[in-house]
């Protein structure tokens, strides 16, 4: 990726579904992967519900929270660490502020009130609103805010604060204690409704505070070096934003984006002094060069919208050429290279006696989509490869490309893998991955992840009573009957695990070893591959340089039966590997781009490489790592399905169902477990796993005891979610069919119960949930 675009593009979300929260201001929002979690705020009363927006499916939902549910509040602190959210302070009713601290475990939607120890050198923070609450590592930093010194129940005597606190967090849940750090240098003046963000791009981590209110709006910028604890006011270049409060600040890349808020407006001919108005101005501060950049819309004037004679109530839902309408007290959330703006108070004149809140949702597109993880295989047939991929938060659509692999290249890869070194050519982990360890329960009616709802025909995971977290993948390899060794042998399989996007290598050389786990991503050798009549190598081109488009997709899967040939035979590829980072909005590609193109069908028993890239209005992102799959040869059984794991005290019981397409009578099943090292004692190469067979028989169930589990390899290659890896394959008269791979999610190296999808019942979370973020 090339960094943030010089001209970010505003986009309005035109339609969404689900339970939409009512408009408000003073609310807060955080992000957990592709989810935006919104809490609090006020508009005709303080909102109490917790709302979640899925940026991939464009759905709102209300999670079923439980535990110590906090009262609704506004102008509170709201931060997120992994799947843990912390709430501090805020207004619970007019004039009544709080200093309570709550924790939400979003993996279970469980609230808990925390009671950290007070500082050793002072009092804990008092009740307040409009403070900043910033997460840095395992600590939160609290600065400033507004307190009410009135002793009357309905009184309000405001006082601005300049105190600074540190909150030390426990590793996965809870908070240890408050402390009052000793800082050096000058410090920011007391204020409220400011912003604070953390950045650690170059050198030590720093806390940046901008703007706020202290009887007047402020435009000063402060930084705190969190290693030396020295405050300073850095020198900046470029046009500094106007003084403001109730604005938002987000870090994306190496820039801090400042949007909206209340700013001064003075029109001497019509007023006797300055007025305060809402703005839709956008500024970015490069935190490496400390240079400001004004990205505000050209009309109205940057930061100076023209006051209107009446409130713009009738225009709130209309699109605005310069992005969101002016607002303050909104929420702003960064997800990848996008910044989402929702609701907030709209209006131009402070003198209006009532408030108008926006109902719209916008995002700022600052860059091309990130590099996706490699595609995963749901299943393959004789003439079809069904693949899926994980969503990108900043992608509007996806372009999928394919490359036929010549017989020579495929054989070379197999020869390499049978030797001491892994193949340099990537291959693929075949199967549909049920990302059931994501740690956040979805409360949409279908209860699926964004990817699962789009993958037609994908295998669903049957979950044990304890909610065991696992990821299941159906392979398409079929080891032939041949050299069979009895009992659980342990031979090196020089394979690169490919669950959730890791590069992989095919394992044709292992197809004849039934005692080994069926290799994922291969089919039994059946002589020469089918010749592609238009194979790139037959045209004098290097096959590594030529890719063909499968199509452009709004969904997260494709049943690939063909690909498109270039209109011009001299054209090497229909889509470039990486398009430039555009500075103006581009037209998204679509099916119309392939009208009239000649199609090439997939051939049986042939090997293909696939890759995917995200596309948005800024441009096309880089392609994913390459995955390599084969179409099947007829006659072999499919992969076992409906895998279910039940945890016992010192063992696990695994059940499955027969393949949906057995292609004859199933004669036996084999179950394999990845173990820590081979008998030779050689060290493992990155991505390599060694397997032993732990079951062989005709039953559709087996129990794996402690002796095997103690020696299990904990694979952390898939999105940093540690897991034990099992494989199960079926055999008929022709031989072994494709393997189903199961990743059993672990916690600190011990078998654990966890969420196997985003919204299981609360009772299934007896041992906690995966808190990886």
Share of the chain above pLDDT 70, in %: 68
Q: CA-CA distance, 694 to 668, in Å (whole number)?
A: 13
C-alpha dihedral sign at 178, 179, 181, 186: positive
Cα–Cα dist 742/396, whole Å: 31
Q: Is the bond leading into 300 cis (omega within 30 degrees of zero)?
A: yes
475 pLDDT exceeds 80? no
Measured CA to CA, the distance from residue 284 to residue 660 in angstroms comes to 55
State the number of CA atoms in the 13 A half-sphere of 75 facing the CB.
26
Which tokens is 730 given? 């079926």
Q: What are phi and psi of 417, to 5 degrees?
A: -70, -25
Residue range 114-120: mean pLDDT, rounded: 97
> CA 306, CA 266: separation in Å to the nearest integer?
10
Beta-carbon contacts of 61 under 8 Å, excluding residues fewer than 6 positions away, are 18, 19, 51, 52, 54, 442, 443, 444
SS3 track for 596-663: CCCEEECCCCCEEEEEEEEECCCCECCCCCCEEEECCCCCCCCCCEEEEEEECCCCEEEEEECCCCCC
Q: 3-class DSSP state for residue 45?
A: coil
pLDDT one-digit tens code per residue, 208-229: 999 999 999 999 999 999 999 9
Mean pLDDT, residues 566-576: 52
- Tokens for 253? 């890349």
Confidence band, pLDDT 50/70/90 cuts, at residue 202: confident
pLDDT, tens only, 280-318: 999 999 999 999 999 987 654 334 444 433 333 333 333
CA atoms within 13 A on the CB side of 411: 8
619 and 369 in contact (C-beta within 8 Å)? no
- Helix (H) / strand (E) element for 709: namely helix 706-709
The count of other CB atoms within 10 Å of the CB of residue 632 is 26
At residue 310, the pLDDT reads 39
121 burial type by CB count under 10 A (0-12 exposed, 13-18 middle, 19+ buried): exposed
- Cβ–Cβ < 8 Å for 387, 638: no
Ramachandran assignment for 44, one of left (phi > 0), alpha (psi -120 to 50 degrees), beta (any other): left
Query: In the predicted model, what is the mean pLDDT of residues 707-735?
Result: 84
**What is the four-CA torsion angle of 35, 769, 377, 552, rounded to 10 degrees?**
0
Instruction: Say what the pLDDT of residue 284 is.
Output: 97
- Residue count of the chain: 773
The per-residue pLDDT for 5 is 56
Question: In angstroms, rounded to a whole number, what is the distance separating the alpha carbons of residues 166 and 648?
Answer: 42
CA atoms 357, 361, 365, 371: torsion sign: positive
The pLDDT-based confidence of 755 (bands split at 50, 70, 90) is very low
| pLDDT score of 683 more than 60 | no
Nearest to 213 by CA among 292, 318, 329: 329
Output the six-digit token pair for 609. 């490489």
pLDDT per residue over 583-622, tens digit each?
A: 456 677 877 788 888 999 999 889 999 999 999 989 999 9
Count CB atoms within 10 A of the CB of residue 215.
Answer: 9
Instruction: Give the residue, 185 or 632, on which the prediction is more confident.
Output: 185
pLDDT tens by residue, 450-463: 332 222 222 322 23
Residue 396 in tokens: 């509007």
Residue 460 has a pLDDT of: 28
pLDDT at 6: 63
């Amino acid at each position: 990726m090339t960094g943030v675009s010089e001209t970010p593009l505003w986009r309005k979300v035109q339609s969404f579904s689900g339970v939409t929260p009512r408009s408000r201001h003073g609310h807060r929002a955080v992000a957990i992967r592709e989810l935006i979690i919104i809490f609090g705020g006020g508009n005709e009363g303080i909102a109490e519900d917790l709302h979640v927006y899925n940026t991939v499916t464009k759905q709102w939902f209300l999670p079923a929270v439980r535990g110590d549910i906090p009262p609704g509040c506004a102008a509170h602190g709201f931060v997120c660490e992994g799947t843990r959210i912390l709430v501090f302070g805020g207004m619970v009713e007019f004039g009544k502020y709080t200093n309570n601290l709550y924790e939400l475990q979003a993996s279970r939607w469980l609230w808990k009130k925390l009671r950290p120890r007070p500082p050793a050198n002072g009092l804990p923070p008092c009740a307040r609103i409009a403070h900043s609450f910033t997460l840095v590592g395992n600590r939160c930093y609290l600065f400033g805010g507004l307190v009410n010194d009135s002793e009357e129940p309905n009184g309000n005597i405001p006082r601005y604060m300049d105190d600074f606190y540190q909150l030390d967090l426990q590793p996965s849940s809870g908070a240890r204690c408050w402390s009052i750090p000793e800082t050096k240098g000058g410090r920011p003046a007391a204020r409220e409704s400011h912003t604070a963000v953390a950045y650690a791009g170059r050198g030590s981590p720093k806390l940046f505070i901008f703007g706020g209110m202290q009887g007047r709006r402020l435009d000063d910028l402060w930084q705190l070096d969190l290693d030396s604890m020295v405050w300073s006011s850095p020198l900046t270049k470029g046009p500094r934003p106007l003084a403001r409060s109730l604005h938002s600040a987000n870090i994306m890349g190496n820039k801090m984006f400042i949007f909206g808020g209340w700013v001064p407006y003075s029109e001497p001919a019509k007023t006797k002094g300055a007025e305060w108005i809402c703005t839709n101005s956008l500024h970015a501060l490069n935190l490496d060069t400390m240079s400001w950049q004004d990205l505000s819309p050209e009309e109205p004037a940057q930061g100076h919208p023209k006051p209107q004679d009446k409130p713009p109530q009738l225009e709130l839902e209309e699109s605005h050429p310069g992005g969101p309408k002016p607002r303050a007290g909104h929420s702003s959330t960064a997800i990848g290279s996008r910044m989402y703006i929702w609701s907030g108070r709209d209006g131009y004149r402070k003198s209006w006696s009532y408030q108008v809140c926006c109902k719209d949702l916008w995002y700022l597109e600052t860059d091309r989509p990130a590099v996706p993880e490699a595609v995963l295989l749901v299943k393959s047939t004789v003439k079809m490869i069904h693949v899926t991929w994980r969503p990108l938060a900043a992608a509007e659509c996806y372009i999928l490309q394919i490359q036929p692999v010549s017989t020579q290249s495929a054989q070379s890869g197999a020869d390499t893998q049978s030797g001491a070194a892994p193949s340099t050519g990537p291959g693929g982990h075949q199967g549909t991955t049920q990302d059931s360890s994501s740690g956040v329960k979805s409360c949409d009616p279908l209860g699926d992840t964004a990817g699962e709802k789009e993958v037609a025909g994908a295998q669903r995971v049957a979950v044990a009573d304890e909610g065991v977290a696992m990821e299941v993948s159906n392979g398409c390899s079929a080891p032939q009957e041949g050299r069979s060794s009895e009992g659980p042998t342990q031979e090196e399989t020089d394979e690169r695990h490919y669950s959730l996007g890791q590069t992989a290598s095919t394992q044709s050389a292992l197809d004849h070893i039934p005692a080994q786990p069926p290799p994922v991503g291969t089919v039994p050798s059946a002589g020469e591959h089918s010749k592609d009549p238009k194979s790139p190598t037959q045209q004098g081109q290097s096959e590594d340089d030529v890719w063909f488009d499968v199509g452009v997709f709004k969904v997260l899967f494709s049943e690939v039966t063909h690909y498109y040939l270039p209109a011009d035979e001299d054209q090497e590829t229909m889509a470039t590997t990486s398009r430039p980072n555009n500075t103006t909005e581009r037209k998204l590609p679509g099916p119309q781009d392939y009208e009239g193109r000649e199609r090439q069908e997939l051939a049986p028993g042939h090997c293909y490489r696939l890759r995917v890239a995200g596309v948005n209005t800024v441009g096309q992102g880089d392609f994913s790592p390459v995955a390599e799959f084969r179409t099947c040869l007829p006659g072999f059984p499919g992969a076992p399905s409906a895998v279910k794991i039940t945890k016992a005290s010192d063992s696990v019981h695994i059940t499955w169902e027969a393949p949906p397409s057995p292609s004859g009578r199933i004669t036996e099943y084999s179950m394999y477990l990845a173990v820590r090292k081979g008998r030779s004692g050689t060290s493992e190469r990155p991505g390599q796993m060694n397997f032993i067979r732990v079951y062989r028989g005709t039953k559709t169930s087996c129990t794996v005891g402690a002796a095997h589990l103690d020696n299990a390899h904990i694979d952390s290659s898939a999105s940093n979610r540690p897991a034990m890896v099992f494989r199960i394959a079926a055999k008929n008269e022709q031989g072994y069919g494709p393997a189903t791979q199961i990743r059993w999610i672990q916690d600190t190296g011990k078998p654990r119960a966890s969420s196997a999808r985003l919204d299981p019942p609360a009772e299934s979370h007896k041992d906690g949930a995966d808190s990886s973020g």
